[in-house]
Structure 1
């Protein structure tokens, strides 16, 4: 059996996006490959999550992790990198030892030396990259790296009109923007049912739980499995998420969506989702212009919710666009790609 070696990190500072994309890809390829996952000083929770996907965990030291990783590469392994610290020099070192190199990207910066570059953000073309002549590109939502529970070619049931509002702002949410989102929902109607899913690195769960006095139908959830997330999303009438992989999971489930830009690296994805009507994006222009917003996030959320009514043209156009871009076929595309790399 051919072998894959994944390399990504996840912690309270950078969140879990890199790790989750790799695990989603690993899930798609688990029947065809033997797999390992290298990560610097993983927490107990993250290590368990990786092992639950069927990967052996290779724990690296925080200091000197790049050299330690290179020394672990076997010549018959395809290496998959996902992270912002893996520059051109490091990638060349990895590629010199590995069978093939695959790089998961969302920044479109630097010179690319990988055999394959994967960027599942929409609106990206190969012409935007500076790359080697041999580099192959897999771009856009047809290469969405989502967990298998979210990938159903037959689709999901229609959204509920009176279901709860789903909220999730990623694995870390260091600025606790989740609380501002809840404050915006409360301004619309304090009796609205809301289910918020906090990531494992959320900095202040007590503050979220304390807000239940202001939003009495708020349910606080954490550390949800993929199947539990699917069930929660299927029941919701509206989702409010970060402009990250979680927003793609909502699109795959096909639900009305408001996205919040919480980091610079989400701008490209937010622009695509806004232009293609996949979602309403808030804080988008703030990150583009680096200007203080006229309205706070709570007010922007209030206005966005009030503009999204179940029978509105905004919702119908959005659901149609989501079905167009998320066809549930990315596993077959990735299996074909990696089988060819290992041939």
Structure 2
């Protein structure tokens, strides 16, 4: 039986429109890179359209041998949207008006004539999509909000608690909508390490390794606040703490300094390429309730979650209600809630959390999405979808 996948010809082209910044964070680009890597393995040529925000990840994209088309930051006077009403809630994340962004993207897309355009950006909606989409190009939207219209052929919302019906009024009737963490875009190493990670947790290992990962940017230095709160916690003397950050994190130097003064050995690592292994080796994580939630679930890593953005609140509540993770709450209560929760987490509680989390994500989401893209292509080729 053939493995699910997107059977590209070598000439196929896929373009991603996504951004990273100190405000947006790194999650949108990272999940697009996961999908792009899988597409490339199937023979597609993948390009990225990204704006040069402060904290962008364009250099990382290029280091992974993808072609990146840089969108320059406009003058301050050009940043305002041309329309005052009807803007997406996150329109300011674009750094310019949607019309100006479309004007910059349109010639690149016209030249590349991609088979697929993949858009992962809270600031863009159907108006932008209709303005830039070349004829015969299929459109995939990756979203988490269900708060604006799209003219997509395929839409992915990988979040727990989301339902297909949430997008009924936002997409065309023929749009294929994929919802839930079953479709989470994870790199293959997470599925590869799932079995050994879960087997280790079945042994009820002692609490020896704590992993802290609060996003690649962490613009508000929540990591520093977590380290400060941990000083008041009754933790095992032999504990090792590992902190994962991105190279563009503005508080990186401060966190490194704080790590040197912790009562337990605390190692700060930057831009790592083996996150799956580090998660598999950890006994507990303190992390943001963003897209890394699905990586932790796949490996059954018990987690204390922190809500860093409003769009993470629904995911955090759903995971907490199921018992797949524990919600620490917003940033301003960490000093109170972290010691209390840690004191209650014995080996049995960690194991139960791990078991529940592991049922949510199997690690095959990227392959499932590739298979859905292939089905859309097949429907287009036989005329069921008219662009």
Asked whether the two chains share a fold, i.e. TM above 0.5, the reply is yes
* CA shift for structure 1 position 202: 1.8
- 2:90 aligns to what? none
> How many residues get paired?
330
- Equivalent residue number for residue 289 of structure 1: none
- Aligned pairs for 1:30-69 within 5 A: 30-32=40-42, 33-41=44-52, 46-63=57-74, 64-69=100-105
CA distance in 1, matches of 2:107, 2:341: 50
CA contact (8 A) 1:173 1:201 kept: no
**Root-mean-square deviation (Å):** 2.2
TM-score (norm 2): 0.79
How far apart are 1:45 and its partner, in Å?
8.0
The 2-side partners of 1:103 and 1:341 are apart by 13
Check whether the contact 1:40–1:65 (CA below 8 A) recurs between aligned residues.
no
Q: Which residue pairs with 2:292 in the alignment? A: 246
- The aligned counterpart of 1:92 is 130
Taking the aligned partners of 1:25 and 1:9, their CA distance within structure 2 comes to 15
For structure 1, the residue ranges without an aligned partner over 5 or more in a row are 287-292
C-alpha distance 43-55 of structure 1, shift in aligned 2 (>3 A)? farther
Q: Where does structure 1 differ by over 6 angstroms across 4 or more consecutive aligned residues?
A: 42-45
Give 3-state SS (helix, strand or coil) of 1:7's partner. strand
- What residue in structure 1 maps to residue 283 of structure 2? 237
1:187 and 1:144, CA in 2 relative to 1: closer, same or farther beyond 3 A? same
Per-residue CA shift, 1:243-267, capped at 9, x if unaligned? 1112221112211111100111111
Q: Which runs of 5+ in 2 are unaligned?
A: 1-8, 75-99, 379-387
* 2:280 is equivalent to residue 269 of structure 1: no
Secondary structure, counterpart of 1:110 in structure 2 = coil
Residue-by-residue CA offset, 1:220-265 (whole Å, 9 max, x unaligned): 111111x2x1222222110010111122211122111111001111
CA-CA distance at 1:11 after TM superposition:
1.6
Q: Which residue of 2 aligns with 1:141?
A: 181
**Would the alpha carbon gap of residues 216 and 209 (structure 1) be closer, same or farther in structure 2, given more than 3 Å must change?**
farther
Displacement of 1:77 in angstroms is 2.4
Per-residue CA deviation, residues 149-192 of structure 1 (Å, 9 max, x unaligned), is 22238623323423311001101111111111112222113744
**Structure 1 counterpart of 2:5:** none
Residue in structure 2 matching 1:193, options 240, 259, 266: 240
The corresponding residue for 1:326 is 361
Task: Give the aligned partner of residue 3 of structure 2.
Answer: none
Counterpart-to-counterpart distance in 2, 1:279 and 1:319: 8
Q: Aligned partners of 2:136, 2:335: CA distance in 1, in Å?
A: 48
**2:217 corresponds to 1:181:** no
Distance 1:75 1:185, change over 3 A: same
Q: 1:15 to 1:183 in 2, by over 3 A?
A: same
Q: CA deviation at 1:94?
A: 3.2
Check 1:216–1:307 CA distance in 2 against 1; reply closer, same or farther (3 A cut).
Answer: closer
1:310 and 2:347 are equivalent in the alignment: yes
Following TM superposition, by how much is the alpha carbon of 1:43 offset from its aligned partner in structure 2, in angstroms? 7.6
How does the TM-score come out when normalised to structure 1?
0.89
Q: Verify: 1:336 aligned to 2:371, yes or no.
A: yes
2:13 maps to 1:3: yes
Change (3 A) 1:98 1:43: farther
Q: 2:285 touches 2:304 (CA, 8 Å); kept in 1?
A: yes
Asked if structure 2 preserves the Cα contact closer than 8 Å seen for 1:7 and 1:38, the reply is: yes
Mapped to 2, the partners of 1:234 and 1:72 lie a distance apart of 41
What does residue range 73-112 of structure 1 map to in structure 2 within 5 Å?
73=109, 74-95=112-133, 97=135, 99-112=137-150
- Bigger Rg, structure 1 or 2: 2
